[in-house]
Structure 1
Amino acid sequence: MKLRKVTAASAAVLALAVAATACGSSDSDDSGSSGGGKKIKVGIKYDQPGLGLKEPSGSFSGFDVDVATYVAGKLGYKPSQIEFVETKSADRENALARGDVKFIVASYSINDERKQKVDFAGPYFLAHQDLLVKSGSDISKGTDLNGKRLCSVTGSTSAQNVQKTIAPKAQLKELSGYSECIAGLQSGAVDAVTTDDSILAGYASQDKYKGQFQLAGLKLSNENYGIGVKKGDSATLDKINKALETMVSDGTWKTDVEKNFGPSNYKYEPAPKIGQIVK
């Protein structure tokens, strides 16, 4: 009788221990759990208002940030488990190849050259190349840029597009970030900044620049923004594409676009179809 009581007590203790172990295992293995859950590193831009911006407080804002957060959520990660990593234009392919980040959402235009190095989910947004000039500037057409000082970012295709197509005599200046180009435009060091209209609209709508700049209104190219993943990572690619489709269908895409671009009166394109590139 005494032996039976001891055995029952031991069984109860063992059952409690197994239950506790199971709970602990769930918390550490589930990427979406709080506390000891896994982290995910996502590449974004730090200097693009309206798309990807690191605020003075250390928080992040912009449409790309919202897309990245939504997608990571569908992959099982809470916002607190996302580590945003700055990925400048010239280093995006290398960051994926090195495994520095799981995916990149950074105004990353899909093109044939880049597709040789990385895989793209999406597109999730369609932008157009344009020019940002000072308010009242006489630069109204791309051909007016011949002989002018044109600024863009190292690794971007925007400046080369202008030189090849409409202003072969433009003086090209490539800097490490768009914020430097905008500062140059403000000071008069450059005559125009060229990149996607979504990026330019974000800068023009900032409080410190309001009224100083204007978009030329040119649609010099179609820029299909995709989410970059490491070449050959088809599993992650498929999950991200499904997440983007859901983001559009549940209304989150439109809400986030209007939240980030609405204040600048930017006329955005409808959500593109996954896998359909607008040439």
Structure 2
Amino acid sequence: MKSRFGIVISAAMVLALAAGCSSSSDGSSSSAAGSGASAHPVDVGAPLPAEVKNKGKLAVGVKCDYPPFGYIDEASKNAGFEIDIAHQLASYAFGDPNALTLTCVTGSNRVSFLTSKRIDLIEATMNYTPERAQTIDFSTPYFASGVKLLVPKNSSITSFDELAGKQVISISGATASLWLTQCMKDVKQTLFAQTSQALTALNQNRGVALAQDDTLLLDLATKNPDLKVVGDAKADSPWGMGVRKGDAQMLAWINGALAHMQKTDFFWSEFQKTVTDTTAQRQFAKYLPRPGHNLTYPTGATIQC
């Protein structure tokens, strides 16, 4: 029987082939907007930029192959935790959770989509790094994760130390690839643009491990019983949304919206709906901003060997 993840990946690949991995879509489920949807815009303490307001829609770059955060579901709709947040942002901005254009982006093209004004903001599992902050401005954090390894269930690999001289699969532009490049120069990386491609390569033994965010790997291991997650987390850092460098108005509005969500405990309530396994919920509860619990970016380099 095909696993749910297999169905999701297949749908994502169809979307990628039909839309060049970067097409816009308004086909996301209105039910993903969360319980805080409003018939009127919400004052988040900062005005929505006039350029966005005049369009009547918020254009967001999201992942389409990264369950449970951003993916294409069995009904060919955008779904996931980050998609729920995007709907809530649209509800705050326009009083309509579907006043939204979702564009599929990857780790390698998301910043260029932003700087070329194809999207208004990036919300695509993007770890904060000082290097990225030189090109774009980051919002306050809304999640956090680290890099671990996905390996076959019968693999003897248990840590990053055992990867020296071996072929490792990763995603181009992702934090995992950046960490391996800087900290394990003798590792031979096989890079892909899409999670589906990387997972296929691992199943075909084209690398001894897949290095990626622990959040994604946990979901993959849950849906693929022949795989397991190993290793201590590396390059752990919060995720932020990205806006164009110097766009103070947009940054102020996004931060105001995120603060409003934190105050109402929106992140936790939506995460519980997206990730229903209670063990996983306990593991990641500390990685969400909640009332009285803030996430902060590191002051030094995030990629430390």
Do both proteins adopt the same fold according to a TM-score greater than 0.5, normalized to the shorter chain? Answer: yes
Please provide the CA RMSD for this pair.
2.3
Q: Report the CA distance between 1:225 and its aligned residue.
A: 0.4
- Structure 1 residue runs without a partner (length 5+): 1-29
Q: Which residue of 2 aligns with 1:261?
A: 275
Q: 2:119 aligns with which of 75, 96, 101?
A: 101
Q: Report the CA distance between 1:241 and its aligned residue.
A: 1.0
The answer to which of 224-233 and 65-74 deviates more is: 65-74
| Contact 2:40 2:95 (C-alpha < 8 Å) held by counterparts | yes
Q: Report the CA distance between 1:39 and its aligned residue.
A: 2.3
- Structure 2 residue runs without a partner (length 5+): 1-38, 42-54
The answer to which of 258-267 and 55-64 deviates more is: 258-267
Q: Which residue of 1 aligns with 2:29?
A: none
Q: Distance in 1 between matches of 2:108 and 2:40?
A: 31
| Contact 1:121 1:275 (C-alpha < 8 Å) held by counterparts | no
Q: Which has the larger radius of gyration?
A: 1
| 1:1-279 equivalences in 2 (<5 Å) | 38-76=56-94, 78-165=96-183, 167-206=184-223, 209=224, 211-263=225-277, 265-266=279-280, 267-268=283-284, 269-272=286-289, 276-278=296-298
Percent identity over paired residues: 24
Q: Distance in 2 between matches of 1:155 and 1:229?
A: 18
Q: Report the CA distance between 1:79 and its aligned residue.
A: 2.6
Q: Distance in 2 between matches of 1:127 and 1:262?
A: 18
Pair 202,275 (structure 1): closer, same or farther in 2 beyond 3 Å = closer
* TM-score, scaled to structure 2: 0.73
Q: Distance in 2 between matches of 1:52 and 1:58?
A: 12
| Contact 2:92 2:257 (C-alpha < 8 Å) held by counterparts | yes
| Contact 2:151 2:210 (C-alpha < 8 Å) held by counterparts | yes
| Contact 2:152 2:226 (C-alpha < 8 Å) held by counterparts | yes
* TM-score, scaled to structure 1: 0.80
Specify the code of the residue in structure 1 equivalent to 2:206. A
The answer to which of 258-267 and 129-138 deviates more is: 258-267
Q: Distance in 2 between matches of 1:63 and 1:141?
A: 29
Q: Distance in 2 between matches of 1:230 and 1:186?
A: 38
Specify the code of the residue in structure 2 equivalent to 1:93. V
Aligned residue for 1:229, secondary structure, equals strand
Q: Distance in 2 between matches of 1:48 and 1:90?
A: 14
Cα-to-partner distance string for 1:108-160 (whole Å, 9 max, x where unaligned): 11111111111111211111111111113111011111122211111123123
Q: Distance in 2 between matches of 1:54 and 1:260?
A: 14
Pair 190,42 (structure 1): closer, same or farther in 2 beyond 3 Å = same
Aligned residue for 1:222, secondary structure, equals strand
| Structure 1 residue ranges (4+ consecutive) displaced by more than 6 angstroms after TM superposition | none
Specify the code of the residue in structure 1 equivalent to 2:268. K
Q: Report the CA distance between 1:274 and its aligned residue.
A: 6.2
Q: Distance in 1 between matches of 2:65 and 2:246?
A: 29
Q: Distance in 2 between matches of 1:264 and 1:149?
A: 34
Cα-to-partner distance string for 1:158-177 (whole Å, 9 max, x where unaligned): 12313433x43221111111
Aligned residue for 2:151, secondary structure, equals strand
| Contact 2:145 2:214 (C-alpha < 8 Å) held by counterparts | yes
Q: Report the CA distance between 1:80 and its aligned residue.
A: 2.3
Q: Distance in 2 between matches of 1:90 and 1:228?
A: 14
Aligned residue for 1:108, secondary structure, equals coil
Pair 275,128 (structure 1): closer, same or farther in 2 beyond 3 Å = closer
Report the structure, 1 or 2, having the larger helix content. 1
